[in-house]
């Protein structure tokens, strides 16, 4: 009770000091956030923002960041729950997997990014795949793989991803060394013991072999982080993981649909997501708009811990509303009244993305 009392005092002090930002909190380290920060916004330090999220955030949110000149995340219970699991998890056991699921636009990707931020602040290596759907749809270029002739490559997506990976994990690139020798073509190869940075640069500069580089990278990281002597922990975050087992809209030149197994990137991703590792690495994923039991590929994801991401609760809705008011995003005079707030509640049904869209033209 004394702890609670102290907490309450702290909250009271906080609210006295900043009466105008009851929806904000100063605690910008996800590790230190707790239930009392639920529903409040914390600002991402700009130093973290650029390297962490070159990709991975929803498009509308990126625009919002540019408009408001700050990146604010809301502390919500699903993300907080996963972060608490991450803190307490036992890493000598096989890899743990968490799945964010929920309705469309309820905040799954944002929760994922929140958790990724936590991993980053803890100093882990983050393997963040922004949207697996992007790899499965609308692919302009397909090359037959150099490594395995039955498979197909996607050079463009692989190179963009490698570039972003490099931005995120700069400091690890020089630390980790390769354990195998990779031969890309007859003349190019990467020796054993070279830093990972070289591997990544190889992939970026040689577009043709970039997908294979991605595969090699994943294999390396998997092997190395599995060993007890490794100096880092690996966190894998895949957004839209149901794309890995769904259908693809890519067609080959003879108009026949491409089977997902034939895509190198997907194949490697699936191996990554499988459960056969030991030690750390958590796989955080999001699913679009389904309940987890309906997920195809459920068996390969099994076992995992599903975390539901609901629409905003009343308190969270209040927070967002005050945030928008504070940022002067809601210009319409009626939006500041009680009735206006009720209208917003009704029209968006407290769905975060809907609310964002509606407030966009208010």
Partner 1 sequence: MAASCVRTVGSLLGKCGNCSSNINTVTSQLSRRQICVSTALLKKNLAAAGPEKFTVEFIQKQVEEFDIGKRHLANMMGEDPENFTQEDIDRSIAYLFPSGLFEKKARPLMKLIFFPLHEAVQWGADGRPFHFLFYTGKQSYYSLMHELYGKILNIEKHQDRLRAKGLFSQDAKAIALDTSRWFTKEELEVLLVETISSHNYDRFIQLIERLLSMPYGNMEEEFVLQYRRPLEAQSKKQSVPVPERDDKGVAFSTSDGRRKTSNSSVVLRDGGSGRITVNGQEYLQYFPVLQDREQLMFPLQFVDLLGRFDLECTVSGGGRSSQAGALRLAISRALLSFLSEGEQETMRQAGLLTPDPRVRERKKPGQEGARRKFTWKKR
Nearest to 74 by CA among 31, 108, 110, 32: 110
**CB-based contacts of 203, cutoff 8 Å, min separation 6:** 158, 159, 162, 209, 210, 212, 213, 214, 217
CB closer to partner 1 out of 174 and 349: 349
CB closer to partner 1 out of 206 and 357: 357
CB closer to partner 1 out of 42 and 317: 317
Q: State the minimum distance, in angstroms, from the CB of residue 289 to partner 1.
A: 9
CB closer to partner 1 out of 38 and 354: 354
> DSSP class of residue 254?
T
Q: State the minimum distance, in angstroms, from the CB of residue 346 to partner 1.
A: 5
The DSSP-derived string for 90-140 is -TTSBPEEEEEE-STTSSHHHHHHHHHHHHHHTT-EEEEES-HHHHHS---
CB 242 within 8 A of CB 290: yes
Q: State the minimum distance, in angstroms, from the CB of residue 62 to partner 1.
A: 23
Strand partners, 284: 98, 237
CB closer to partner 1 out of 51 and 340: 340
The conformational region for residue 352 under phi > 0 = left, psi -120 to 50 = alpha, else beta, is: alpha
Q: State the minimum distance, in angstroms, from the CB of residue 131 to partner 1.
A: 21
Q: State the minimum distance, in angstroms, from the CB of residue 58 to partner 1.
A: 17
Interface with partner 1 (CB under 8 A): 103-104, 339, 342-343, 345-349, 351, 354, 357-358
């Amino acid at each position: 009770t004394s702890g609670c009392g102290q907490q309450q005092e702290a909250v009271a002090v906080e609210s006295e000091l900043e009466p105008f930002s009851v929806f904000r909190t100063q605690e910008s380290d996800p590790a230190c956030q707790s239930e009392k920060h639920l529903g409040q916004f914390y600002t991402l330090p700009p130093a973290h923002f650029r390297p962490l999220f070159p990709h991975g955030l929803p498009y509308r949110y990126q625009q919002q960041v540019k408009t408001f000149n700050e990146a604010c995340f809301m502390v919500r219970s699903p993300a907080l729950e996963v972060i608490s699991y991450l803190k307490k998890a036992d890493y000598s056991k096989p890899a743990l997997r968490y799945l964010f699921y929920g309705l469309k636009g309820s905040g799954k990707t944002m929760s994922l990014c929140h958790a990724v931020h936590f991993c980053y602040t803890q100093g882990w290596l983050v393997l963040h795949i922004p949207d697996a759907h992007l790899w499965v749809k609308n692919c302009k270029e397909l090359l037959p793989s150099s490594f395995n002739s039955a498979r197909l490559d996607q050079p463009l997506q692989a190179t963009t991803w490698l570039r972003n990976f490099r931005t995120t994990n700069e400091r690890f690139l020089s630390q980790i060394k390769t354990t195998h020798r990779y031969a890309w073509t007859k003349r190019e190869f990467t020796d054993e013991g070279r830093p990972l940075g070289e591997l990544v640069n190889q992939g970026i500069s040689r577009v043709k072999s970039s997908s294979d580089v991605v595969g090699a990278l994943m294999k390396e990281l998997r092997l190395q982080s599995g060993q007890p002597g490794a100096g880092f922990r690996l966190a894998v975050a895949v957004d839209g993981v149901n794309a890995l087992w769904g259908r693809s809209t890519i067609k080959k030149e003879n108009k026949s649909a491409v089977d997902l197994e034939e895509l190198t990137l997907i194949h490697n991703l699936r191996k990554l997501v499988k459960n056969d590792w030991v030690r750390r690495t958590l796989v955080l994923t999001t699913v679009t708009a389904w309940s987890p039991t309906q997920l195809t590929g459920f068996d390969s994801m099994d076992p995992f811990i599903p975390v539901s991401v609901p629409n905003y609760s009343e308190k969270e809705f209040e927070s967002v509303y005050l945030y928008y008011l504070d940022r002067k995003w809601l210009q319409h005079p009626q939006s500041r009244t009680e009735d206006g707030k009720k209208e917003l509640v009704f029209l968006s049904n407290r769905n975060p993305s809907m609310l964002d869209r509606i407030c966009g033209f208010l």
